[in-house]
A and B are shown apart, each in its own frame.
Chain A
Amino acid sequence: MIATLLAAWAATIPAFAAPFLLATVGLIINERAGVMNLGAEGIMAIAAVVSVLISLDGGGVGVALLGGVAAGLVLTAVFAVLAVLLRVDQVLAGLVTFALGIGISGYVGDGYDNQTIPGLSALPTSLFGWMPKTLAGVLDQDVLTYVAFGIAVLVWYIIEHTDLGLRLRAVGEDAPAADAAGVNVALYRLGAVLAGGVLCAVAGAHLSLVGSHLWVDGMVAGRGWIAVAMVTLARWNALRAIAAALLFGAIQALVPQLLSSGLNVPVYFIEMSPYLATLAYLLLAGMFANGADAQPVDLGRPYLREERR
């Protein structure tokens, strides 16, 4: 009984973890370039709703995904203009983006609530027939979930091991120095913000295309905010983001299992645990980091050559 429960739980974890992972990796790209985007929740919402609308209109999964990403990109562009070009405080710009995304998604999705779409289903089970059952359950996911984990590795490689990543990190750690070395700070930040926004949008599309197969107002349910916190848990590293996403995904996947099992457990305390773990991790990192914490030094500082420190 326990074994089947565990197997069922394990099989649902990757699909729960993937949206967290995509959004967190997107935000890591942003933050390594020195830009904190609190608008992830809004970007995810707009992508989720547009994907559903296109699907309801008869579009295929690919078209729906592209449409969702395009919508998320437009909203991200608003943030980019505010935060990078107009140098509005990034917290403020992010919150505006969040509210715009949630507000507009509520508008365009109005009247399309709870209409199911075909969405994206898991790969055919026959592919995994030769494996042990539990492993097959875990590996039998949809394509987008696989893409999510692939993107995390790819982004990690680009940030940590390529020249492009080096310049990106330079912009985030010391914008004046990067500028002096000939890196176009505004251009790199714009690129990072837009790339991060694309990943957040894919995360939102994953929620509706893979997760729920429908749109309900408020369905992002704080996942974008969790992604903001998960960046710290991953210590700004896309590979560690996989572990962080699996942790949050595992807890989120556990809750429905517990509820359906009828066991009398404090569900909300269990749901609270990843938040507490992130807080504890943040505090412990501060206690033991000896001044070498992972947060990009120029995070949240708008840069203008005329204002150099």
Chain B
Amino acid sequence: MGKLIVSPRLAAPPRLAAFTMLGGLGAGMLISAIFLLTQGLGLSDLASQFLGYTFTDPAGLDQTLTRAIPLTLVGLSVAVCLRVKFWNIGVEGQLWAGALAATTVPLYHIGPEPVHLWIMALAAMLGGGAWCGVCALARLKLRANEVVTTLLMNYVAYMLAQQLLYGAWRNPEDSFPVSRAFSPDETLALLGFGHVHAGIFFALAAALFCWWLCSLSRVGYMARAVAANPLAARAVGVPAAAVVLLMATLGGALSGLAGFTIVCGEEHKLTQFIGNDYIFPSIVIAYLARTSPLGVVVAAVAVAALYTAGDSLKAFYQLPGATVLTIQAILLLCVCCGEFLLRYRMDWVKTVKVRA
């Protein structure tokens, strides 16, 4: 007989890190593929839906890229917050707050008309940043668990938006619960490829900025210290609280910006359901990217492609809408399991009988 001993690795070998990540992803994809095969899809269908349609077909690629814009921003939001071990599961609320703040600009004619778009972007970042910053402040000053506060703030923002859409902001022309349409000056330009709009530059610029911030700047360095050991960081003079507050506020601002790209780039007005179903994808994207900002862009495009494929599976194979969520869950599950092998080592220790 023997005994299984699980012990943490002091340092994870980089080759093993890559191997567990790829292994986890591969296993996840394999399970997802088997799952879809049992649903009556053929192998060739899978290949054509997931690789062909999403990336090579213009309509599919259009959908993928358009969806990747807000997904990149919310993914960055979670990733930046995770850099200081701050769980941001409130990206939907921050996205709503950003969209609401952006919408106030055209509705109440704030600032000069020609620069409305820029004011809207700024307002969205302020709105989203405040929505998350408050939660960071509550954690730092009052030890309120950020998982719960960011979660609750989702509902507050959503209810606020619905109240406005059914009340003061309701479209005066047809009484639908949407705001009045924005003027062309207040929308993001289309880039001549389907629905892809200038928000893509915002998303890419945000990713580059976050990469600079996390990898090259002093703040990113301090963030790493705070994440590794807040007490030690404070002891050597890192302003730990300020760093957490800054990163969390930035994270909120990024989600707010995602709201801005949706109302200004896709909807061209505030509508009722813009902020639905972003929480889990944002976590998946940030985690698969291992919180690396440039990795987030790749992961966001991949998850967006998953949604594109999901839509067409729904249309052509009558698969339920839950397909995409299930696949994301399976992928994350497998990567999490792979992570265990990376962080811990397991040894089988034989118990030796000692004769008295």
Chain A residues with a Cβ under 8 A of chain B: 36, 38, 78, 82, 86-88, 91-93, 95-96, 98-100, 102-107, 110, 217, 222, 225, 228-229, 232, 266-269, 271-272, 275-276, 278-279, 282-283, 285-287, 293, 295, 299, 304, 306-307
Chain A residues positioned under 8 Å from B329 (CB to CB) = 96, 99-100, 103
Partner of A268, one of B89, B160, B279: B160
Question: B120-150 toward A: CB 8 Å interface, digit per residue (1/0)?
Answer: 0000000000000000001001111101110
In the bound complex, how far is the Cα of B145 from the Cα of A279, in angstroms?
11
Neighbouring A residues of B160 by C-beta, 8 Å:
268, 272
Residues of chain A contacted by B159 (CB below 8 angstroms): 268-269, 271-272, 275
User: Looking at the complex, which of B66-74, B162-170, B182-190, B301-309 is the stretch in contact with chain A?
Assistant: B162-170
| Complex-state Cα separation, A267 to B344, whole angstroms | 51
Q: Once the chains are docked, how many angstroms separate the CA of A82 from the CA of B336?
A: 8
Against A, the Cβ 8 Å flags (1 = close, 0 = not) of B338-351 are 01100110000000
Check B8–A107 contact: CB distance below 8 A.
no
| Contact, CB under 8 Å: B8 / A306 | yes
Given known A86-B337, A95-B280, A304-B8, contact A287–B325 (CB-CB < 8 A)? no
27 contacting pairs across A/B (C-beta < 8 A): A36-B147, A38-B89, A78-B333, A87-B343, A91-B147, A95-B283, A95-B332, A99-B280, A99-B329, A99-B332, A103-B325, A103-B326, A103-B328, A107-B326, A228-B147, A232-B145, A267-B163, A269-B159, A269-B163, A272-B156, A272-B163, A275-B152, A275-B155, A279-B149, A279-B152, A282-B148, A286-B141
Q: Is the CB of B166 within 8 A of A229?
A: no
**A100 near B152 (CB under 8 angstroms)?**
no
B6 near A304: Cβ-Cβ < 8 Å: yes
Q: Is the CB–CB distance between A102 and B336 below 8 Å?
A: no
Decide if B11 is an interface residue (CB 8 Å cutoff): no
In the complex, A88→B87 CA distance in Å? 14
B residues lining the A interface (CB < 8 Å): 5-8, 87, 89, 138, 141-145, 147-149, 151-153, 155-156, 159-160, 162-163, 166-167, 279-280, 283, 287, 320-323, 325-330, 332-333, 336-337, 339-340, 343-344
Interface contact A278-B344, CB-CB below 8 Å: no
Q: Which residue of B8, B147, B323, B339 has the most chain A CB atoms within 10 A of its CB atom?
A: B147
Task: Give chain A residues whose Cβ lies under 8 Å from the Cβ of B7.
Answer: 304, 306
Q: Is the CB of A278 within 8 A of B333?
A: no
B163-A266 in contact (CB<8A): yes
Q: Chain A nearest CB: distance from B160 CB in Å?
A: 7
Q: Which residue of A lies closest to B327 (CB)?
A: A103
Q: Is there an interface contact between A93 and B8, defined as CB atoms closer than 8 Å? A: no
Q: Given that A93-B336, A100-B326, A110-B320 are contacting pairs, would A283 and B142 also be in contact in the complex, using a CB cutoff of 8 Å?
A: yes
The one of B143, B166, B280, B333 in contact with A286, judged by C-beta atoms closer than 8 angstroms, is: B143
Chain A residues with CB under 8 Å of B323's CB are: 103, 107
Closest to A226 in B: B155
The CA-CA distance from A82 to B323 in the complex, in Å, is 22
**Is there an interface contact between B163 and A228, defined as CB atoms closer than 8 Å?**
no
Q: Which chain B positions have C-beta within 8 A of A232?
A: 145, 148
Question: Is A96 a contact partner of B322 (Cβ separation < 8 A)?
Answer: no
Name the distance in Å between B315's Cβ and chain A's nearest Cβ: 15
Q: Given A95-B89, A268-B163 in contact, is the A105-B322 Cβ separation under 8 Å?
A: yes
Main secondary structure on A side of the interface with B: helix
Whether A107 touches B320, Cβ cut-off 8 Å, given contacts A88-B336, A96-B333, A271-B159, is yes
A107 to B326, CA, bound (A): 9
Chain B residues whose CB sits within 8 angstroms of the CB of A99 once the complex forms = 280, 325-326, 328-329, 332
Are B339's CB and A228's CB within 8 A? no
Which one of A38, A102, A276 lies within 8 Å of B156 (CB-CB)?
A: A276
Interface centre among B159, B160, B163 (most CB of A within 10 A): B159
Is the beta-carbon distance between B149 and A282 smaller than 8 angstroms? yes
Apart from the given pairs A100-B329, A106-B321, A278-B148, 16 other A-B contacts in the complex at a CB distance below 8 Å: A82-B333, A82-B336, A88-B336, A95-B332, A99-B328, A99-B332, A100-B330, A103-B326, A107-B326, A217-B321, A222-B155, A272-B163, A283-B144, A286-B138, A286-B144, A306-B5
Q: Is the CB of B336 within 8 A of A96?
A: yes
In the complex, A229→B151 CA distance in Å? Answer: 8
Contact B148 A286 (CB under 8 A): no
Distance between B230 CB and nearest chain A CB, rounded to angstroms: 14
Given contacts A92-B332, A268-B160, A275-B152, contact A102 B142 (CB under 8 A): no
A295 adjacent to B145 (CB under 8 Å): yes
* Identity of the chain A residue whose Cβ is nearest the Cβ of B160 in the assembled complex: A272
Whole-angstrom distance between the alpha carbons of A164 and B325 in the complex? Answer: 38
Q: Which of A88, A278, A285 contacts B152 (CB 8 A)?
A: A278
Q: Smallest Cβ distance from A301 to chain B, in angstroms?
A: 12
List the 4 shortest-distance A-B pairs measured between CB atoms, nearest first. A106-B322, A286-B142, A103-B326, A99-B329
The smallest C-beta distance from B254 to any residue of chain A, in angstroms, reads 19
Q: B152, A98: Cβ atoms under 8 Å?
A: no
A109 to B87 Cα, complex, angstroms: 32
**Inter-chain contacts of A295 with B (CB < 8 A):** 143, 145
Give the shortest distance, in Å, between B82 (CB) and chain A (any CB): 10
The residues of B that contact A38 with a CB separation of less than 8 Å are 89, 147
A266 and B167 form a contact (CB under 8 A): yes
Q: How far is the CA of A244 from the CA of B141 in the complex (A)?
A: 25
